[in-house]
A = this chain, B = another copy of it.
């Protein structure tokens, strides 16, 4: 953080706390950044809960909308629906869309990030300096950023760029089903550091004592609904990794379904994949990752099951095997310009593992990469994942 930024923040903090008027009755203000289908669905949940818990939260929830030419913001505020990304779902009247990022974040003590991952950096640049120094954030952005040198969690990127702490939310959550209030579960991870750390050399700015504590209970209150069950854990890395690595396994499951090898084979590939996901977390995030996050939580085993049953990675991999077309061809034919996350992740993870000389430690991940690359056939999968 630059010194100018620091001064600006300190002023903001003094003003906010000093007058006692901006925070008002010392409740949390919540803002959702992003208004795609998952962003809108999460904003709906959060606004339902701020209304239901007036002791803890201001009722009003703001939602930042990246407005296109049609002025989606006004439409959302007028008809209480997001016709572009979540048509047919009535949004709570205490949810207010805004096209201004500074307006969205300036008073919020809780920020929920739910934007496409390629926009994270630019949004953080626009926010930096506007948000409260003691704000806390949750990233609902699926996946992780893998480069040959390392893996970064979007929650860490957000936290570092804004100088605030950011946790994560991930689970077996197909947005349209959640929005329709069909039952599902999710996992929230939140574990702010105590004392000074690499990202917070002066320590994290404390949440004012006049506000309700920002802890596991608060986040459960904010996200839990009768149709959306929340478990809050401390393993941010595990929750984030689950959402990324499951897509590699979903490709493998799709390949097997493409061959019509049946339910036994698919379950076997999913089991092996689940254990490789966990091993990856333990190997590269040994400080934080808990085994149980993968095998017990919604963000692990349940999200994997959902993705291998009906996700787009599974579908394209299956069609690729059935038709003999490359997965890129299937992707362009089926996804209307959107990109498969699984193929990107499989390649990124492979570069990372290859760099570390650890391809053999992850036979399923490596096999999926090689199948995508045309280096091996799907039929070799059992042999490739056979261990002694």
Q: Measuring CB to CB, which residues of chain A are less than 8 angstroms from any residue of chain B?
A: 171-174, 177-178, 182-185, 226-227, 229, 256, 261-268, 270-272, 274-275, 295-298, 301-303, 305-306, 309-310, 381-383, 386
A272 to chain B, nearest CB (A): 8
* Residues of B close to A261: CB separation below 8 A: 177, 182-183
> Within 8 Å CB of A185, what residues of B?
264, 267-268, 271-272
Instruction: Flag if A265 contacts B302 (CB, 8 Å).
Output: no
CA distance A22 to B272 in the complex (A): 43
Q: Are the CB atoms of A183 and B298 closer together than 8 Å?
A: no
Closest to A172 in B: B267
> In the docked arrangement, what's the CA distance between A268 and B297, Å?
9
Q: How far is it, in angstroms, between the C-alpha of A81 and the C-alpha of B183 when the chains are bound?
A: 48
Set of chain B residues within 8 Å of A306, measured between Cβ atoms? 263-264, 266-267
A220 nearest CB neighbor, chain B only: B388
By the criterion CB–CB under 8 Å, are B184 and A264 in contact?
Answer: yes
CB distance from A138 to the nearest CB of B (A): 19
- Complex Cα gap A229–B381 (Å): 12
Task: Give me 8 other A-B pairs in contact (C-beta within 8 A), A177-B265, A227-B382 excluded.
Answer: A174-B264, A182-B265, A185-B264, A229-B382, A266-B306, A270-B305, A271-B297, A305-B305
CB-based contact A177/B263 at 8 Å: yes
Each complex incorporates copies of this chain amounting to: 2
- Give Cα A337 to B297, complex, Å: 39
A171 to B173 alpha-carbon distance, docked (Å): 28
Question: Are A183 and B271 in contact, with the CB atoms below 8 A?
Answer: no
Measured CB to CB, the nearest residue on chain B to A260 is B182
A265 lies within 8 A of B184 (CB):
yes
Which residues of the other chain, B, contact A173 by a CB distance below 8 angstroms? 264
> Judging by beta carbons under 8 Å apart, are B226 and A264 in contact?
no
Q: Is the CB of A262 within 8 A of B382?
A: no
Give Cα distance in the complex from A271 to B262, angstroms. Answer: 22
Pick from B227, B265, B302: contact of A270, CB under 8 Å: B302
Judge whether A295 and B302 touch: CB under 8 Å.
no
Which of chain B's residues has its CB closest to A264's CB? B184
Q: How many whole Å from A281's CB to the nearest CB in chain B?
A: 14
A200 to chain B, nearest CB (A): 32
Q: Are B386 and A229 in contact (CB under 8 A)?
A: yes
